[in-house]
Structure 1
Amino acid sequence: MTQPPPPPPHQPPPGGGFGPPQDQPPQQPGGGFGPPQPPQPQPQQPPAQPPQPPAYGYPQAPQGAPQTPPPTPPASPGYGYPGQQPGAYGQPQNPYGQPGYGYPQQTVPLHAQSGGPGGGGQKSYTWLVVVAAAVVAIALVIGGVVIARSGDDDGGKDDTASSSGGTGGGDDDNGGGSTTPGKEKVPANPNSRVLFQVPAPKVSDDTTISVSGSWLTDKAYVKSGVSEIVGYDPDKGTELWTIPLPGPVCRAAKHVSEDNLTAVAFEPAKPTKAKPSHGCSQVAAIDLDAGKKLWTKSAEVDGRLIPYDNITLSGGTVAAGGTSGGAAFDLKSGKSLWVPKANDSCYDLGYAGGPKMVAVRKCGSYDQPQLNIQTIDPKTGKVISEYKMAEGVEYASVISTEPLVVAAEAGQSDSIGISDVFSIDNKTGKLRIRISVPGDQYAARCSGVTTIEACTGVVVGNDRLYVETEEHQGGGEYGRTNEIVAFDLATGKQTGQRADAGDRYTITPLRMDGGNVIAYKRPPYNKGGQIVSIDGGSFKETKLLENPAAKTVRDVETRMLPEYAELLYSQGRLYMSARFASELGTEYQKKYHVIAFGRTD
């Protein structure tokens, strides 16, 4: 497989490239990334090879593009992070003053081991051995009683059973957690190779086009292109089928039905310089296995086509919404099911799907908005429960619909950072707990004010919130790192669970796998990225995939980071793809639409 050529040293980024930008001054308040901090001191001696610079510039949204531009990339990584103190992120303080995460090790005094002054020599040592053996025996008996009781409570289910690959969660002294087994297999050899690459599509100069949407089934890896959707062989990358569209895919549902159907919203015509956007007014259902478009629908308000800012699916219903209105359709037939009730003071901003259907409804005046989080019946649109957000919250994003978890930036309007997370009871609409996750400590982000389901750096599972921390100085002289920590969604307190990225790596949660967290590790300048599984109980990390360290490969990978690209991992294969297409770069900075990795075993 031909590898992408490396860029020349210190080459400035081309206009409209993928990935985060080169280092730049931190944004001022309103940018959503926390207050600017003074620059980090430089080490006296640089490393033998300088760290890989942040990847190249992120494309700007075209003028007149529908509603939500690409998220503003962060400035130099890690600014705004407070000095880490012992016990940061809820790690329990160690009363014995010893480092580490577990219970302090007990030691036998030297004089007791060797028969020191006043000691009994061999007699004292024998006595200690007898006592220790008795303690172990008692512990085993107690442990047996606990296991037997656990078995009685759940009909004989073994709570310690792991998944097929040994990554299932298990209860322990570090916060407990779900024992739901994961499906991802642990390899004997996690090393990967490049399966295939798809070059970036050609677009006109000074044009940025949305290519949002990527999905994976047993039969195909599917990715939106420029005014098309393409199915690729998941191992070889050969094109299996293509669905042409009259215009770009501007919104794509992140969920897939059990029979591998999904939905997209697209423009009715291709962009031109005279008219860069025609409105995201068309909705279609896609069969990802067959490579077919099942139907296309649109809706009107006062004789005008509704442009959609978001699209999702739940319970066989496709729902699309935005500030101009919304509509719901049957996923298989395209039959119109319901439209949201709108009046002068209330309208649906949009919807989140998956196990439940949730509407984010905005009421009130421009100066005094009121957001309502509604769990609705996907077939009828009937409201099942409703929670009224606190005043001052103008926009909200849904991290999970079951359990219902909503993120917001209180008092701000850019909806980029997150200041608070709301755990809500689906059935009653009552607030369970409000969790503070300030942007200067945590790296979770929700892009766009009406995309509703576009959050990175945070996932939900085991009735816990798993969130990525901001970068900070690592243990090495030059390294920076971060962690994933967990909050209990019932109490709002940190569980004490913490997964460290490791020196010079940064870690981002991607999704749940049963009771385990699947996470991506951004690599340092001389290594490839990794996919790890974090046990939901012990928080032990298991490496599932490690990409090649070759610079030509790493240069492409680091332009496809989770904040700015779409990452899909399943059973030893990782697919990283762009969200936007822009004009091609120089011959030394060739851009890629997709890069796929697979294990060598």
Structure 2
Amino acid sequence: MSFGPPPSAYTQSALSAGAQAKQRRRKLLLGLLVVALVAGLGAGGWFLLSGDAGGTNTSDGTKASDAPGRLDVRRTVEKRPASTNGVMAVRFSVDDMTPGERYEMPGMWATDKILAKGVNQTVVGLRIGTDASPGDEQWKLPLAGPICGYTRHVTGENRTAVLYRASAKEGALCDHVAFFDLDDGRAVWSHDFPASPSGTNPGVPRNGAVQDSPSVSLTHDTVAVTWGGGTIAYDMDLGKTRWSTKATGACQDNGAAGGGALVVIEQCWSGDESLPVDSWERITYKARKVDPTTGRALWTYSAAKGVRDLDVPSTHPAVLAVSAGDTGITELLSLDEDGGNRATIRLQNGTYVGECSAETYLVDDCPTIAVGAGQVFLRSKEDIGARTTNWIIGFDLATGNTTKKFESGPNALLIPVRTSGDRLLALRESQDRITPTALVSLDPGTGKETPYFYFNLPAEAETFTSIDFNDVLVQDGRLFFGAKSVTGPGADQPKWVYLALGIESEAARRK
């Protein structure tokens, strides 16, 4: 059984390696867990897959969001668990990749029962409470071609969407969308959509022409796909087209941002033909808030000339991330209900750090820019001196003024993950290999930090905290890490490769 190209550990030969490889893997697992347990106890936290790993209990005290409808985008509020001991909730790994093997792993989502991960041209579902390798998945959703786009948003009934190529052949267009159920892996519906060549020329990409990168996102009862030449919106239950738009003149739709509202990013070209068509000097950007029911534009914000990129950390309230130089995001714009500029938050030449995905098909994936409770939270640049440290600071969306500041303290880094109600969830990453790493809650009202649980990562998974190469999410009381891509280790490196990992409070195992 194969998850599709490129050749990898997910080929038939790897999946049929036999009982001997399984036995070797289990012996290695026991050794790793003993090492992790001893190291964790010495640091005051611990990390272990419990004996009752088959359980599928939900987390301690997760409660519904303020938009709990089944067709709304999910936004759960997490509560502090009863125990601060972190245990392994799920793991997905391989131990027989060869040097140079590589496969892409776009997209990661979680429910109270399943951790789902994109792998090449398949989405796999892993049951919470299991230690899985290829072949142990709860379900698989095979696609006709490799995954070429996804959204991090999930509906109230645990559904989401991915884009995929028409086939596994080299040069196949990214022109299909699938809406599927995360709990059972069932495809609710799928459709093909148009493709356009990069730049202002209309038509279908031909003779190796570069395709405009399509994107997909979710908002209430709407799956929105942009494809360069326009936007198509589908209803969630049946996949019927609700509305569509077509690009006009020298502008085209370049990305969809969902969540509490729908914002479409437009890219426009000037008529200066002395410059390359993809030169930033010819391109300007607009953000258009759209009625998801009709497709009607509610407002349009035009970015200043010279802006090199525009991302959307939040659609409700609307917050835009502006890249006006060659060093990434330079400022955040808080917009009002009419698309007017409420406040400008400058990142002060890198003093504050805001990251958005480098993938062209993701305009609303900004993993360390957290928006909620009338504020936006950013982390500071790392101070790498005798003792590594940083801080997280909040900015008021109405005024742009700073609010609370949360210090990491020495030998630690604070990384925003997402807001949860009126709190901020953050990863407290240990830098000294002595104190444990932790998931913590930060209260902007009081400035108090509350630990959710502590844990230590085995050596093979230590790089999971790097947001440049991994997805990080919190859902139903659990913290998940997932690789965006993996490559086989070198000949002199350990063969154990982590693909995804989930951690939860020990209290969840006692239920």
TM-score by length of 1: 0.64
- 2: CA distance between counterparts of 1:5 and 1:420? 48
Q: Which has the larger radius of gyration?
A: 1
1:396 to 310, 313, 321: 310
Identity %: 28
Q: 2:332 aligned with 1:438, yes or no?
A: no
Match in the other structure for 1:421? 332
Give the drift of 1:207.
6.3
Q: Mapping of 1:116-515 within 5 angstroms?
A: 183-200=77-94, 208-237=102-131, 239-270=137-168, 275=170, 277-300=171-194, 302-303=203-204, 308-323=213-228, 325-365=230-270, 367-412=281-326, 417-425=328-336, 427-448=337-358, 449-473=360-384, 478-495=386-403, 497-515=404-422
Superposition deviation, residue 577 in structure 1: 0.6
Distance 2:375 2:478 in 1: 27
**CA distance in 2 between partners of 1:278 and 1:204 (Å):** 27
Alignment correspondent of 2:498: 592
Q: AA paired with 2:108?
A: S
Q: Does 2:484 correspond to 1:573?
A: no
Query: Is the CA contact 1:286–1:294 (under 8 Å) kept in the aligned structure 2?
Result: yes
Which of the pair has the greater relative contact order for Cα pairs under 8 Å at 6+ separation?
Answer: 1
CA contact (8 A) 2:178 2:187 kept: yes
Please say if residues 433 and 492 of structure 1, whose CA atoms lie closer than 8 Å, have aligned partners that are also in contact: yes
Residue 43 (structure 2) aligns with: none
Task: Output the CA distance in 2 between the equivalents of 1:245 and 1:307.
Answer: 21
**What are the Cα deviations for residues 299-329 of structure 1, in whole angstroms up to 9, with x where unaligned?**
2253559764421111211112244544322
Query: What per-residue deviation string (whole Å, max 9, x for no partner) do you get for residues 182-215 of structure 1?
Result: 8433234312123332125988975644311111
What is aligned with 2:444? 536
Task: State yes or no: 1:582 paired with 2:449.
Answer: no
User: Following the alignment from structure 2 to structure 1, what is the Cα–Cα distance between the partners of residues 76 and 216?
Assistant: 28
Residues in 2 aligned to 1:287 and 1:339: alpha-carbon distance in whole angstroms: 24
**SS state at 1:456 partner:** coil
Distance 1:523 1:322, change over 3 A: farther
8 A contact 2:323–2:329 mirrored in 1: yes
CA contact (8 A) 1:310 1:351 kept: yes
Residue 86 of structure 1: aligned partner: none
Specify whether residues 480 and 3 from structure 1 end up closer, same or farther in structure 2 by C-alpha distance, changes over 3 A only. Answer: farther
State the alpha-carbon separation in 2 of the partners of residues 295 and 202 from structure 1: 35
1:201–1:226 Cα contact (<8 Å) kept: no
Greater fraction of residues in strand: 2
Gaps of 5+ in 2: 1-25, 33-59, 64-74, 196-202, 271-276
State the 1:439 CA deviation. Answer: 4.5
| Unaligned runs of at least 5 residues, structure 1 | 7-162, 167-180
Output the CA distance in 2 between the equivalents of 1:289 and 1:254.
16
**Does the Cα contact within 8 Å between 2:460 and 2:496 map onto a contact in 1?**
no
Q: Deviations over 1:48-107 (max 9, x none)?
A: xxxxxxxxxxxxxxxxxxxxxxxxxxxxxxxxxxxxxxxxxxxxxxxxxxxxxxxxxxxx
Alpha-carbon displacement from aligned partner over 1:453-511 (angstroms, at most 9, x marks no partner):
1213211111111001100146xxx311111001111111112x111122111111111
Q: Is the 8 A contact 2:96 2:495 kept in 1?
A: no
- 1:29-40 matches, within 5 Å, as none
Change in 2 beyond 3 A, CA 1:303/1:372:
closer
Question: Contact conserved, 1:484 with 1:509, CA < 8 A, in 2?
Answer: yes
SS at match of 1:481: coil
Q: Is the 8 A contact 1:418 1:438 kept in 2?
A: no
Alignment check: 8 A CA contact 2:380 2:390 kept: yes
The answer to whether the Cα contact below 8 Å between 1:164 and 1:182 also exists between their aligned partners in 2 is no
Count of aligned positions: 416
Deviation at 1:333, TM superposition (A): 1.5
Q: Report the CA distance shift for 1:258/1:326 in structure 2 as closer, same or farther (over 3 A).
A: same
Residues 377-426 of structure 1 deviation map (CA, whole Å, 9 limit, x = unaligned): 112221011111112113100000010000011144xxx6210101111x
Please state if 1:548 is matched with 2:429.
no
Equivalent residue, structure 1, for 2:19: none
Return the alpha-carbon distance in structure 1 between the equivalents of residues 204 and 456 of structure 2: 55
Q: Is the 8 A contact 1:230 1:239 kept in 2?
A: yes
Contact 1:204/1:583 (<8 A) preserved: yes
CA contact (8 A) 2:464 2:482 kept: no
Q: Give the conservation status (yes or no) of the 8 Å contact 1:164–1:183.
A: no
**What TM-score do the two structures reach when normalised by structure 2?**
0.75
**Residue aligning to 1:520:** 427
Q: CA separation in 1, counterparts of 2:242 and 2:98? A: 39
Any conservation in 1 of the 2:86–2:454 contact (CA below 8 Å)? Answer: yes
Query: How far did residue 363 of structure 1 move?
Result: 2.1
Offset from partner CA, 1:560-586 (integer Å, 9 cap, x none): 422321112234422211111333544
Cα deviation for residue 259 of structure 1 reads 1.5
Q: For residues 357 and 165 of structure 1, do their structure 2 counterparts lie closer, same or farther at Cα, with a shift above 3 Å needed?
A: closer
State the superposition RMSD in angstroms. Answer: 2.8
SS at match of 1:212: coil
1:447 deviation in Å?
2.8
User: 2 CA distance for matches of 1:294 and 1:286?
Assistant: 5
Distance 1:3 1:569 in 2: 25
Contact between 2:175 and 2:192, CA under 8 Å: does it hold in 1?
Answer: yes
Residues 207/350 of structure 1: CA separation in 2 closer, same or farther (3 Å cut)? farther
Partner Cα separation in structure 2 for residue 333 and residue 595 of structure 1: 33
